[in-house]
Amino acid sequence: MEKQDLRSLHLDEMTALLKELGQPAFRAKQLFSWIHEKQVREISQMHNLGKNLLEQLEQHCTITSMRLERKQVSSDGTEKFLFQLDDGNYIECVLMRYRGDMSKQRNTLCISSQVGCAMGCTFCATGQGGFVRNLTTGEILSQVYEVNHLLQEEGDSLPVGNVVFMGMGEPLHNLNNVRKTISLLNDPQGQQIGIRRMTVSTCGVVPKMHELADEKLDIVLAVSLHAPNDEQRSSVMPVNNSWPLAKLMEACRYYQKQTKNRITFEYALIAGFNDQPEHVQQLKHLLKNLDCHLNIIPVNPVANTAQFSRPDKKQVAAFVKALQQAGLKASVREEKGTDIDGACGQLRGKMLKK
């Protein structure tokens, strides 16, 4: 029988497991607290469970493990972690520590939901490497727990408080495990991360966006737009061939109707490609009557995609100003960690080449 990963289990699943093992129900709460509140890495650390239960857990269960292969720190403070999974695959996550005002201090972690990605966006290092497999709930969650351990070891008293599903992979292609991770992170007996402090990013998997809308999960939805018309969007995002902009916008409007939440659109600004006055007008038309915010991200250079040139600061500011004058909410989001292969999949790509 395959061992069950305790980090992938909800309280009711732990209760059922312990019942099968002939253990009283109250043990499930203790077990849940060890796994999801204290984030232990070893079964033997759960010292109040009794010898008999610990032996049973060692026999039937496991706790997801991942080894820190490499850590890089950017000049802007962004930290990137490359973890190796039990099967030898690598995943990345990125930590941003926001300081300043006490009330604004937070640690935000951008995590992966898949090894590789099938979506093939041409500006993305992960997309260029293809899809390998979905991550389990325990593997997605462990990125948060392992980084929390690292923070603690460094004496940082703030655990990860904001989670962004924007690392490697398309989260909506692994929706069951992403959804379960969100509810475990949000659990009052676990890390208690507020649901509005979690962002799920999609490149536009329309049927799954409808599914997410019907669930009325209160997460922040971020949609990778990157181009304001079908021709250009299809040229950089193959997903647009399956679900063109009309379908994508229909899904966004449906999502907003169901959840009443503002949608974030990510727009990688590429000099000479999608930064012209006509693109502002196309965006204005596309996003009409939608409560949304545009994050304008000056494109990050990716190996083998030299055709994407980064606009200079003046061009970026002018584009944002034009969007605002057109009545859109827009701001610049500087990509962090560009000097440490900060964009999704770059560090893993280098590791695989080695």
Catalytic annotation present for 92: yes
Pick the closer one to ligand SF4 by CB: 151 or 237: 237
Report the residue from 8, 56, 64, 126 that binds ligand SF4 according to the rule CB under 6 A.
126
State the nearest-atom distance from the C-beta of 266 to ligand SF4, in Å.
Answer: 9
Pick the closer one to ligand SF4 by CB: 169 or 190: 169
Cβ-based neighbours of 338, under 8 Å, separated by 6 or more:
74, 300, 301
State the nearest-atom distance from the C-beta of 197 to ligand SF4, in Å.
Answer: 21
Catalytic annotation present for 344: yes
124 binds ligand SF4 (CB under 6 A): yes
Give the separation between CA 292 and CA 179, rounded to whole angstroms.
23
Report the residue from 283, 328, 344, 347 that binds ligand SF4 according to the rule CB under 6 A.
344
The encoded tokens of residue 127 equal 């997309």
Give the separation between CA 257 and CA 265, rounded to whole angstroms.
17
92 binds ligand SF4 (CB under 6 A): no
Q: What is the number of the residue whose Cβ is closest to ligand SF4?
A: 127
The encoded tokens of residue 65 equal 């493990």
Q: Is 136 left (phi over 0), alpha (psi -120 to 50) or beta?
A: beta
- Using alpha carbons, select from 93, 96, 140, 82 the residue that is nearest to residue 114: 140
State the nearest-atom distance from the C-beta of 130 to ligand SF4, in Å.
Answer: 9
Q: Per-residue contact track with ligand SF4, 162 to 201, x per CB under 6 A?
A: ------xxx-------------------------------
Report 304-333 residues binding ligand SF4 (CB under 6 A): none
Report the residue from 203, 252, 280, 297 that binds ligand SF4 according to the rule CB under 6 A.
203
> Which amino acid, 245?
L
Residue bearing tokens 């495990």? 177
The full DSSP string for 82-147 is EEEETTS-EEEEEEEEE-SSGGG-EEEEE--SEEE-SS--TT-HHHHH-EEEEPPHHHHHHHHHHH
Q: Per-residue contact track with ligand SF4, 103 to 122, x per CB under 6 A?
A: --------------x-xxx-
Give the separation between CA 245 and CA 233, rounded to whole angstroms.
8
Q: Out of 110, 117, 292, 344, which one is annotated catalytic?
A: 344
In order of 13, 39, 44, 49, the CA distances from 56 in angstroms are 16, 20, 11, 11
347 binds ligand SF4 (CB under 6 A): no
Q: Out of 79, 92, 170, 266, which one is annotated catalytic?
A: 92
Positions touching ligand SF4 (CB under 6 A) are: 117, 119-121, 124, 126-127, 168-170, 203, 344
Catalytic positions: 92, 344
